[in-house]
């Protein structure tokens, strides 16, 4: 017999039983290929990412909230304290509003006649259907809310979504509905929600239209870049792990990962990268696009700590399948965590990063980390060492 049995568990799944629990099914029947990766994803999320004080960022792309995943999976994850901060496409936050405002979306079919749908005022996202009025009413809600005095200034997208979430939570209360919306739950649990492209959604479109009137609302992307880096720096410098849970890919994936190069490459602060990387996607790595870029590639950029690369997981499967399963697995295997309420700490986290930046950062080129290591080695072997000028 080869030495395989010493290195790997035998592949001999249990037969699936009537009434089997989700977590048991995943542990016993998801053994290979993307089923195997999904089981690893469940164990990574539950056993390492949310362990202890680990800080978990989640990035959302793809049409997840229109499919109801906000209510079914993301809100329960926020409520359990398993996700501490979010970067989302504006689309997911916009369509989340429909649920928070008590509007109706329908499980339809992808095989309908779109010309007929257009004539009948029906919008289609693959097999999700809703009336055109859902868009018009949601747009009116956004325009109405952002006329308020607290919106008349420049702010980060986390602050903007927090304020918007307050109004969604209020509307949920008025309607007698609860736990329907990601923005409302994020507001209630103090979870910062960013968007990487504020203009690229119907929320941004309404903000832009109101700027043609007299709205002073402007989303400060520089603040977002630094604030997201501040969350990661706060976790790592405080001794906690920083994990990324990436659904899909796109610009939110990069916005979440670039926090580490922002700290190391741009600000000159020493750091090793995010600790754990979990991505569920359909994007392939061989096109060079960031959506499909692997955790290994991210290591080369300093985005991921090389030491934890063996723990990183990419599961090539639709998020509408993976997210509910990972959520159910985590909720059944791990105790809820106290929400970290990072939103309330945003100013303190920002100030801490700023202070470190002024200590280590500079305008001129920052010395390459490997150069510093080489010089340190030469120093140890008795040759002269040049200090790191920052
Ligand atoms: N009305 C609106 O507000 C509206 C509507 C749609 C899109 N948009 C905007 O368009 C931009 C693109 O958004 P997008 O979400 O369509 O991203 P996208 O289509 O660019 O997808 C990003 C990545 O995620 C992957 N992906 C998408 N769905 C997936 C799934 N179900 N499972 C696994 N992987 C999946 C894709 O293959 C891709 O690699 C965003 O800025 C968004 O705000 C706005």
Residue in 31, 48, 236, 303 annotated catalytic:
303
Q: Is 303 a residue of the active site?
A: yes
pLDDT of residue 367: 83
Which domains are assigned to the chain? 17-381 (3.40.910.10)
Q: How far is CA 339 from the centre of its chain?
A: 16
Gyration radius of the chain's alpha carbons: 23
pLDDT of residue 372 exceeding 70: no
User: Model-level pTM?
Assistant: 0.95
Which residue has the CA at smallest separation from atom 16 of ligand 1? 62
- Measure 24 CA to ligand 1 centroid, in angstroms: 32
Phi, psi for residue 193 in degrees, rounded to 5: -120, 120
pLDDT digits 0-9 by tens, 167-221? 999 999 999 999 999 999 999 999 999 999 999 999 999 999 999 999 999 999 9
237 three-state secondary structure: helix
pLDDT of residue 389: 34
The pocket around ligand 1, CB under 6 angstroms, is made up of 61-62, 89-91, 94, 197, 200-202, 248-250, 280-283, 291, 318-320
Question: Which of 53-62, 137-146, 218-227, 296-305 bottoms out in mean pLDDT, i.e. has the lowest?
Answer: 296-305
Q: Do residues 339 and 190 lie in contact, with contact meaning Cβ atoms separated by under 8 Å? A: yes
Q: Do residues 251 and 157 lie in contact, with contact meaning Cβ atoms separated by under 8 Å? A: no
Mean pLDDT of 329-352: 98
Q: Do residues 87 and 196 lie in contact, with contact meaning Cβ atoms separated by under 8 Å? A: yes
pLDDT of residue 215: 98
- Measure 60 CA to ligand 1 centroid, in angstroms: 8
Q: Is the dihedral of CA 151, 156, 157, 163 positive or negative?
A: negative
């Amino acid at each position: 017999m080869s030495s395989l049995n010493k290195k790997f568990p035998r592949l001999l799944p249990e037969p699936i039983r009537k009434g089997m629990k989700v977590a048991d099914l995943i542990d016993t029947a998801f053994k290979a290929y993307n089923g195997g990766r999904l089981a690893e994803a469940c164990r990574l999320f539950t056993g390492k990412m949310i362990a202890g004080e680990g800080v978990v960022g989640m990035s959302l792309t793809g049409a997840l909230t229109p499919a109801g995943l906000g209510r079914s999976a993301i809100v329960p994850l926020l409520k359990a304290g398993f996700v501490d901060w979010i970067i989302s496409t504006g689309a997911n936050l916009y369509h989340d509003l429909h649920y928070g405002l008590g509007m109706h979306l329908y499980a339809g079919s992808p095989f309908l006649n779109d010309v007929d749908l257009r004539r009948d005022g029906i919008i289609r996202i693959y097999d999700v259907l809703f009336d055109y009025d859902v868009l018009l009413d949601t747009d009116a809600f956004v325009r109405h809310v952002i006329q308020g005095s607290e919106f008349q200034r420049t702010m980060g997208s986390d602050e903007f979504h927090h304020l918007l979430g307050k109004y969604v939570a209020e509307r949920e209360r008025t309607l007698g509905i609860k736990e329907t919306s990601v923005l409302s739950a994020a507001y209630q649990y103090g979870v910062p929600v960013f968007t990487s492209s504020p203009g690229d959604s119907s929320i941004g479109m309404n903000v832009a239209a109101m700027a043609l009137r007299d709205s002073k609302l402007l989303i400060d992307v520089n603040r977002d870049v630094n604030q997201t880096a501040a969350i990661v720096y706060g976790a790592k410098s405080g001794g906690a792990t920083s994990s990324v849970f990436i659904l899909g890919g796109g610009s939110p994936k990069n916005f979440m990962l670039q926090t580490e190069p922002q700290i190391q490459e741009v600000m000159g602060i020493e750091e090793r990268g995010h600790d754990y990387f979990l991505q569920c996607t359909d994007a392939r790595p061989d096109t060079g696009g960031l959506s499909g870029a692997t955790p290994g590639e991210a290591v080369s950029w300093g985005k991921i700590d090389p030491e934890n690369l063996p723990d990183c997981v990419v599961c090539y499967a639709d998020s509408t399948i993976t997210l509910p399963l990972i959520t159910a697995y985590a909720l059944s295997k791990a105790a809820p965590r106290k929400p970290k309420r990072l939103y309330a700490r945003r100013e303190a986290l920002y100030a801490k990063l700023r202070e470190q930046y002024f200590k280590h950062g500079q305008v001129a080129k920052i010395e390459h980390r490997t150069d510093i290591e080489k010089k340190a080695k030469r120093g140890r072997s008795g040759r002269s060492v040049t200090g790191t000028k920052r």
